[in-house]
Structure 1
Amino acid sequence: MKVKSSLLGMALAILPVFGFAGNNIKMVVGTYTDAGSQGLYSFSFDQSTGEVSALSSLSVDNPSYFTFSKNGRFIYAVSEQNSSKAVLNCIGFDPVTGSFSFMNSQLTHGADPCYVDTDGRIALTANYSSGTISVFPILKNGTLDKSQLQISSRKGGPNRSRQGIPHAHCAVFAPDGNIFATDFSGDRLLSFYYNKDEQKLEDHGIAAHVKAGSGPRHLVFSPNGKYAYLMNELSGKVIVYKYTEGKLKEIQSVLADNAQAKGGADIHVSPDGMFVYASTRLEGDGITIFRTDYNGKLTRVGMQPTGRHPRNFAITPNGKFLLVACRDDNKIQVFSRDKNTGMLQNTNQDISLSRPACVKFYRIK
């Protein structure tokens, strides 16, 4: 199904769909569907100019976060629902045309799945409102088997209004295959490993404690796998870890949210590993920019204001653009990125879309 131009609210450049020899890549956007959005949208994005053209859409309930399979043929997208409708969806994706096809879905048995990651063997969801992690074996045809396991986080943080019940916000694979989950209410990082033979997660215990009331949210690794960066929602701080053989050692904590709005959100590392970007919301919405040094530590070098509620953002594979999903302004902002300074500049090439929540790129390798 083609995306109607009225949904985009702008005249989008017409780009060749099959021209992958140059800078033409695919972009997929997940949205909240409570205000008329269909769900998933695909676009063709020219990462040399920042121009975009609409390709396809698919009706999916609240696909607020998703991830690609390694070959780009499947998308695993949550349906963030606080009910029995909370599922993980497997969606076929044509990385050449950008078209979607629904494959199957499986119940998470956990409320409000808000994050998903995969290593090709299994998919993991972090279920925010139930504080659990669901594990889905991936079948040979790429579809999802039933959820087998759930790992529970705990309550106990001092922020009673935000940490009064268990919450889990992220479950991510490290480059070496280890699994880490953010225990938002317990102020901890949990460590696991998937035993393929026994088809179960091995509990490796607490990978790290964070200061009480921090609310750990998203964890990302540097391109070389030597460092990890944790965005804390409530404290607004980024914690830097040295990563060695499955172990995290804290080496720095630096503030990203100057407004102290308790709205720290997403975090990503530039493709060259030289800069870290963190989004903050609720007040002073924007992207905080950090330069990395040879030890992985961060120096704050700038802050780029954005539209309202920058829940998620993505950097193009060539590092030239950074796109921000501004959920409450119903648009995706396109910023050009200076690779030497890390600074961002608004290109004013906004993509109008109802309640965007997740942006990801896929390039045929």
Structure 2
Amino acid sequence: MGLFSKTKTVDIFFVGSEGTDLDRGIYAFYLNVDNGEIIKKSFIKSLASPLAMNRQGRFMYLTYRNGTGRAQDGGIWQYACMETQLGLAARIGNEGRTYIQTVLNKDRDYAYAIDYYNGEVVTIPIKTSKIIRVSKTVKLDGHSIDPVKQTESHPTFMTFTPDNTKLIVTDLGGDEVIFFTEGEKGELTKDEELSFKLNPGSGPLKLVYSSNRKFAYILNQISSTITCYAVKHNKFTLVDEVMTYSKDEYDGVNTPMDMVITENGRFIFVINKGDDTIVAFERDKETGKLTRVDCMETDEGPKSLLLFRDKYLLVACKQGGSLESFEIKEDEKRAVLYETHYQFTIHAPVCMEKGTENLRVVK
């Protein structure tokens, strides 16, 4: 870098593409934090389709769809994350199981993963910073009223409670939010007192906490709703429920796909497949209730959503084959969401994750 070279500040993010044999794999991008520009930096080709990526510290945990049915495929791949490069550190398989999320506990001596297709939550010991094997499995046994998606349990999301005492799993198939207590060897025991059911046919997909940890929000895929809960001592009390889209504006089949909350706790954003929109809700910080304040169209089939610095939203649209950035303007009277007019064409993007932030690069 020359003495007088002009530089810009970027945040790195990664995108998983289902694509074809030619373009399937993991892409690394820069997001210009001054204007929302999307800049491709690298590509790692993969034989299998990526499903999810979760960054924990300096490692990225990727899961791939087992499209062959072979016992050696699927599993979890652990990569060392070095700016835009990923270096394989470890890999585990479990009879060909396909996992959709990986999280680590506070001490980082155990990882947990969920298998949507078989309704399982698994424990994975970590030695010398590397995942080594699946040691324990919890089989969920829920079901509910939807004849297609709720004939059995389908865990969709995991997170730890803010005090790190419980692991929470949302079960779309069972309409349940399940709290687990960790044992000394990573074994999981269901906390019957804290676990609770949602209305039949809700289909919980994801859970986020407000920045002050006093409220939690659950995105429900089947009912296209967000349910708001007051939280005290990890006990959830229902406060409110809102639709993720307007039935007056769209009368087709809608499926909400992702949800994020701003770090300052003011807004929640949801993407809807079918309606093909990104919707902004403003939070009442005292009551936790949500008010819809803005909506913008996206490309076809939004699948994944990332938030940067409470300033930019990035939407990956699988059917449309694109990445789009939107700017958040909190104090504008007319709207909250604005187009940046930056878009990148990519075949069938399905998942995204943030990497290194505040990187200075040459323009």
Aligned to 2:228: 240
Aligned to 2:345: 352
The aligned runs of 1:161-180 (5 Å cut-off) are 161-177=148-164, 178-180=166-168
Instruction: Give, as a single letter, the amino acid of the residue that structure 1 aligns with 2:85.
Output: S
Q: Distance in 2 between matches of 1:187 and 1:327?
A: 26
Aligned to 1:77: 62
Residue 188 (structure 1) aligned with residue 194 (structure 2): no
Alpha carbons of structure 1 residues 358 and 210: separation in structure 2 relative to 1, 3 Å: same
Segment drifting more, 220-229 vs 117-126? 117-126
Q: Secondary structure at the match of 1:65?
A: strand
Q: Distance in 2 between matches of 1:364 and 1:312?
A: 19
Alpha carbons of structure 1 residues 109 and 222: separation in structure 2 relative to 1, 3 Å: farther
Instruction: Give, as a single letter, the amino acid of the residue that structure 2 aligns with 1:293.
Output: D
Of 35, 50, 58, which aligns to 1:63?
Answer: 50
Aligned to 2:260: 268
Q: Distance in 2 between matches of 1:254 and 1:35?
A: 41
Aligned to 1:51: 37
Please, what TM-score do these two structures have when normalized by structure 2? 0.86
Q: Distance in 2 between matches of 1:53 and 1:310?
A: 20
Instruction: Give identity over the alignment, percent.
Output: 21
Assess if the C-alpha contact under 8 Å between 1:230 and 1:239 holds in 2: yes
Aligned to 1:102: 88
Of 11, 17, 26, which aligns to 1:25?
Answer: 11
1:273 Cα offset (Å) = 0.8
Alpha carbons of structure 1 residues 235 and 224: separation in structure 2 relative to 1, 3 Å: same
Assess if the C-alpha contact under 8 Å between 1:278 and 1:288 holds in 2: yes
Assess if the C-alpha contact under 8 Å between 1:289 and 1:300 holds in 2: yes
Q: Distance in 2 between matches of 1:214 and 1:129?
A: 18
Alpha carbons of structure 1 residues 236 and 35: separation in structure 2 relative to 1, 3 Å: farther
CA offsets per residue over residues 137-194 of structure 1, 9 Å max, x none? 2222x32121122222234211112212321111222222121111111111000122
The aligned runs of 1:99-248 (5 Å cut-off) are 99-109=85-95, 111-119=97-105, 120-140=108-128, 142-177=129-164, 178-195=166-183, 197-205=184-192, 207-248=195-236
Assess if the C-alpha contact under 8 Å between 1:110 and 1:127 holds in 2: no
Instruction: Give, as a single letter, the amino acid of the residue that structure 2 aligns with 1:246.
Output: N
1:77 Cα offset (Å) = 1.0
Q: Which runs of 5+ in 2 are unaligned?
A: 359-363
Q: Secondary structure at the match of 1:161?
A: coil
Please, what TM-score do these two structures have when normalized by structure 1? 0.86
Alpha carbons of structure 1 residues 110 and 340: separation in structure 2 relative to 1, 3 Å: farther
Assess if the C-alpha contact under 8 Å between 1:116 and 1:170 holds in 2: no
Assess if the C-alpha contact under 8 Å between 2:38 and 2:343 holds in 1: no
Instruction: Give, as a single letter, the amino acid of the residue that structure 2 aligns with 1:32.
Output: E
Assess if the C-alpha contact under 8 Å between 1:188 and 1:209 holds in 2: yes
Assess if the C-alpha contact under 8 Å between 1:114 and 1:127 holds in 2: yes
Alpha carbons of structure 1 residues 181 and 346: separation in structure 2 relative to 1, 3 Å: same
Q: Secondary structure at the match of 1:347?
A: strand
Assess if the C-alpha contact under 8 Å between 1:118 and 1:173 holds in 2: no
Q: Secondary structure at the match of 2:200?
A: coil
1:103 Cα offset (Å) = 1.8
Instruction: Give, as a single letter, the amino acid of the residue that structure 2 aligns with 1:331.
Output: S
Figure out how many residues of one structure are paired with residues of the other and give that number.
340
Q: Distance in 2 between matches of 1:184 and 1:204?
A: 18
The aligned runs of 1:250-269 (5 Å cut-off) are 250-258=238-246, 259=250, 261-269=253-261
Instruction: Give, as a single letter, the amino acid of the residue that structure 1 aligns with 2:257.
Output: A
Instruction: Give, as a single letter, the amino acid of the residue that structure 1 aligns with 2:56.
Output: S
1:75 Cα offset (Å) = 0.2
Instruction: Give, as a single letter, the amino acid of the residue that structure 1 aligns with 2:43.
Output: S
Calculate the aligned-residue CA RMSD, in Å: 2.4
Alpha carbons of structure 1 residues 135 and 199: separation in structure 2 relative to 1, 3 Å: closer
Q: Which has the higher contact order (CA 8 A, sep 6+)?
A: 2
Name the larger-Rg structure: 2
